[in-house]
Amino acid sequence: MTKPLLVFDLDGTLAETAPDLVATLNQVLAEIGVAPVTYDSARAMVGGGARLMIERALTHAGVSMPRQKIDQMFDDFLVHYDAHIADSSTLFPGVGAALDRFEAAGWHFAVCTNKITKSSELLLEALGVADRFTAICGKDSFPVSKPDARALLSTIDKAGGTRDRTIMVGDSKTDIETAQNANIPVVAVDFGYTDQHVATYKPNRVISHFDALWDAVADIGAFHPAR
């Protein structure tokens, strides 16, 4: 029988990445003469990928840029960010212990993120957990990205899982809608990057710490090995 699979979002779910993302955002804004965005304002812009973060910051500043300029800012963002991928980024508390517990029970893991794949791999390597995931799939891994269900379904295929034995874990409306579009249960963490509480989007369960993930998954899935 196929192993059950947990598919995680990355930014705001597995890792607190906002400090490095915001620092990079303000670096590329400074290069075009735009004032920095405050940390609290910029943190709410994280979660849809670097390009969307840049577009949100420009809108916030009341600045309009041609597409070519945004493309250049995006390229500059990736160069700077990859060079500072984990200066201040950390795994959220309890991630390692949760992965250990699920792995011991026969689960395997994948990442489905709107972060660029190379950056995702670099970050997970820097945080020491890249080898825990059978697939790390970013915004450029497939022709579509979240919230398109095909991004999640393609990640499941790449990880060697099956839809009926998969649960997603995310922190945002995008993650929850992705799972719902794929008809896959979803656990939402409430400490990530969202402008409204994740309960608004009706995930199957909401948790406030990774220590609660085991019980949340047990409540959702009859295929949980502990049941």
Which of 58, 83, 108 is at the close of a domain? 83
What's the pLDDT at 227? 36
Per-residue pLDDT tens digits for 114-124: 999 999 999 99
- As a whole number, mean pLDDT of residues 27-49 equals 89
**Do 71 and 93 belong to one domain?**
no
Annotated catalytic residue 75: no
**Do 130 and 161 belong to one domain?**
yes
Inter-residue contact 181 to 204 (CB < 8 Å): no
**Do 53 and 114 belong to one domain?**
no
**Do 130 and 73 belong to one domain?**
no
In a domain, 227, yes or no: no
Which of 83, 104, 126 is at the close of a domain? 83
What's the pLDDT at 165? 95
pTM across the whole model: 0.93
**Do 194 and 107 belong to one domain?**
yes
In a domain, 226, yes or no: no
Name the domain count of the chain.
Answer: 2
Q: What is the CATH number of the domain that holds 32?
A: 1.10.150.240
**Do 64 and 161 belong to one domain?**
no
- Catalytic annotation, pick one of 9, 11, 20, 171: 9
- As a whole number, mean pLDDT of residues 48-56 equals 88
Distance between CA 225 and CA 227 in Å, rounded? 6
Q: Encoding tokens for residue 226?
A: 């502990």
Inter-residue contact 54 to 70 (CB < 8 Å): yes
State which residues form the domain around 173: 5-16+89-220
pLDDT at 214 over 50: yes
What's the pLDDT at 156? 98
